[in-house]
Copies of this chain bind each other. A is one copy, B any other.
Amino acid sequence: MIKVVFKSHNKEAFCSKGDTLLDIARKADIFIDAPCNGNVSCGKCKVKLLKGKVDTEKTRHISDEEWEQGYILACATKVIEDIEIEVPSKLSSSMHGMKIEGSDKKKDQQIFDRAKQIANEHDLKFEVNIKKKYIEIEEPNLDDNISDIDRLQRYVRNNLGFDHIDFGLSLLRKMPKIFREKNFKVTITYVEKKNKITILDIESGNTQGRLYGAAIDIGTTSVVVCIVDLQTNEVIDKASSGNAQIKYGADVINRIIYSSKGNGLETLNKAIIEETINQLLSSLYVKNNILKNNVVSIVVAGNTTMSSLFLGVFSDFLRQEPYIPPFLKSPNLMAQDLGLNTNESAYVYLAPSVASYVGGDITAGVLSAGIWATDENILFIDLGTNGEIVFGNKDYMMSCACSAGPAFEGGGISCGMRASAGAIEKVKIDKDTLDPTLQIIGECAPVGICGSGIIDLICQMITKGVVDRRGKMHRDLKNRRVRFNEHEIGEYVLAFKEEYNLENDIVVNEVDIDNFIRAKGAIYSGASTLIESLGMDFSVIDKVYIAGGIGNNLDIENSIIIGLLPDIDREKFVYIGNSSLVGAYLTLISKDAKFKLEEIGNQITYVELSVYPTYMDEFISACFLPHTNIEQFPTTKNLIGE
């Protein structure tokens, strides 16, 4: 047995000779960000060897200086003797860590209100099937000694007018004691359907006021949970965190690969349910003084892969030709089937997917954005780890998916992070000194940069002459912010460690920029191809809805300048936030909305870009700043004077 001491975490782990350091850390529950899932390709799992020898290699991700200091890649290191390791704090905590964050209630309220308004305008009633009722049942005696269940059934038949009640084992198991706690005065939670009701729960005494649901958005990178009062339709509170599956791969493909090996599927299922959703639920319960038993309805929206992993369903065939998803619509489920931390009989509904790479997050987004109800031509872009695009109106809806990668959520960028405290969300570069002005979430020292910050940064770099249209630093620049490493890779220093008392400088390098350019190129070319496939172009667009967890300060102008969004009238752009979550919320509070969501799932047509003849050319052309054909971006052309 070999001992590995994680000094930074004050933890010890034991392993066998030859075990990989990344695996050892995972088993010891120490988070090391590894978006490429141990393929030695992303270079993010950099840790510092304090003591002992290891079997490792110096990869292109490690500079000479770092190598001197003992930095190694956890995924490329085999342990051969007792060692001591330090995991840089930014890796373990801020990147995609499990820090649970609350929400900006006022901003949330606006978004939810807007969705409710759309629903209202189109006659989606806010009515749910699940109800509570306080009842006082006659106590039994020797002359009236029918069984507990028959007694409940008799009451329901005589007083509520239902012929038949359904119930499950969990109700039966708790009923005898609950009945006798307050002399057969109980509150039942039930779902009515024609002349039949299904009783989900029974509580002692009168608990009529307490009936909640959870709307959950499972993103590949981030997960958000909303607790909703099912009687008033109000959002009680919201919490978000990273998806704990991240340690097994940053994007859906790496997750699927991980899930198909050994007990990987089980591990990923546990990561999303126990380590992510249940943690978020618990934090909301404690903060808002809610009993988990009173949470009786759950709506979940996620992409096709996330939906599959959430249910623990094997999805490897999603990534093998002919790319078959196991399901698009899930069967009826209860919380106990999945181990969710709610009432065990809570109903779980998954937003339906459209295809292998257009999932329930998109149908839910389309629902909340109201595309299904409008005459206007809407271009809907979800900037997530995958970029999904929908174009259409109430008469037709076309969709496609582009594997953008996690760049918009701060992934795939060496100093990238989620849009949470410490994230640089806005950047301005002085045209003379090239010094940046940073706006940081939470008004603290910067920790990394989130999606909206990267957009700003790249826009500033191209317009202030730091990079050329390929995204490469100008080799002749003489400025302390711009430097080149021994591999001749250029980098721009956003924050010197001395400025903020950091462990390391915060930099964005040419590899990061390249990653980002490919991501934005995928989105732009996806949108243009989709519209072109209908024989149209961007001029027909009435509105562009931008959704996703990119941050609250997405700068539309900058996004256009770098070639992420088409150079059309700025008035047409609307940032609609996490539309998937809002769609899940609507589904939770309105059975009409749920019905509409099912319809949307059937109505959206999927276009497979990879087989579309001109897509590859379009994509390659879009992998420039802003585009090979700068005529498509008059604004940028004007600014950079080409």
Q: Give me the interface of A with B, judged by CB distance under 8 Å.
A: 140-142, 144-151, 166-169, 171-173, 175-177, 180, 311-317, 321-333, 337-338, 355-356, 611
Contact = CB atoms under 8 A, between A and B. Distances in A.
A164 to B, nearest CB: 12
Given A312-B173, A313-B176, A314-B173, A141 B322 contact: yes
Contacts of A149: 326-329
A313 B142 contact: no
Given A148-B327, A337-B169, A611-B142, A177 B314 contact: yes
B331 A172 contact: yes
A315 B177 CA distance: 9
B169 A333 contact: yes
A336 to B, nearest CB: 9
B329 A176 contact: no
Nearest to A337: B169
A484 to B, nearest CB: 45
B313 A172 contact: yes
A435 B173 CA distance: 54
A285 to B, nearest CB: 25
25 contacts: A141-B322, A145-B322, A147-B325, A147-B328, A148-B325, A148-B326, A148-B327, A149-B329, A150-B328, A151-B324, A166-B332, A168-B331, A168-B337, A169-B312, A169-B333, A169-B337, A171-B331, A172-B327, A172-B330, A173-B314, A176-B315, A176-B316, A176-B326, A177-B314, A180-B317
Contacts of A151: 324
A321 B144 CA distance: 12
Contacts of A168: 331, 337
B312 A147 contact: no
A630 B166 CA distance: 54
Nearest to A139: B322
A141 B317 CA distance: 12
A304 to B, nearest CB: 9
Contact of A175 (B316, B326, B330, B356): B326
Nearest to A330: B172
Contacts of A321: 142
B173 A324 contact: no
A477 to B, nearest CB: 48
Nearest to A320: B180
